[in-house]
Amino acid sequence: MERSKLDLWVGMFVVAGIAALVMLAMKVGNLSTYNVSETYQVQAFFSNVGGLKPKASIRSAGVLVGRVTGISLDTERYEAKVTMSLDKRYQFPRDTIANIQTAGLLGEQYIGLAPGGDSEMLKAGEQIKKTQSAMVLEDLIGKFIYSKADATAQ
């Protein structure tokens, strides 16, 4: 009797551990907070996407409104083309600004949408014209160092 009770507890512990690992994988994979509903796709071009990855979140006012579905290099413009899938419940004006932001100092990158004031809304397949690329920490440090070196040389 004691052996079977011990086996039962060990089995329950193993199942709980596997469930915790699955939940952790979903959280790390950024899949746990987005419900799949009807979406529409829009594109935006950025000169630098930094560490943005497919399935990165798209947020407006801190609310998850979509996911990045693809990132590719446009060989005509030599800019990164980002395809975004937005939830149909959320409509954005045509003059919306898309910028790449970082969650925290070294956190994941996501796209932030700042709605404009246009009365016409974005439609499926359209392009967000106003974008702001990712801030690359190495570039900022380099500019700071060069500006200090230039100031001391004068």
Q: What is the pLDDT of residues 86-122, one digit of tens each?
A: 999 999 999 999 999 988 766 788 999 999 888 999 9
Instruction: Tell me: pLDDT of 35 over 70.
Output: no
Q: Which DSSP state fits 141?
A: H
pLDDT surpassing 70 at residue 34: no
Phi, psi of 86 (to 5 degrees): -105, 145
- Quote the tokens at residue 17: 């551990």
Euclidean distance between CA atoms 94 and 127, whole angstroms: 8
pTM (whole model) above 0.75: no
Question: What token pair was written down for 34?
Answer: 């987005």
b or e along 48-83 (b: 16 or more beta carbons within 10 Å of the residue's beta carbon)?
A: ebbebeeebbbbbeeebbbbbbeeeeeeeeebbbbe
Q: Which residues pair with 41 in a beta bridge?
A: 85
Closest CA to 131 of 101, 99, 102: 99
Helix (H) or strand (E) holding 134: none
As a whole number, mean pLDDT of residues 28-47 equals: 76
Residue 28 backbone phi and psi in degrees, to 5 = -65, -40
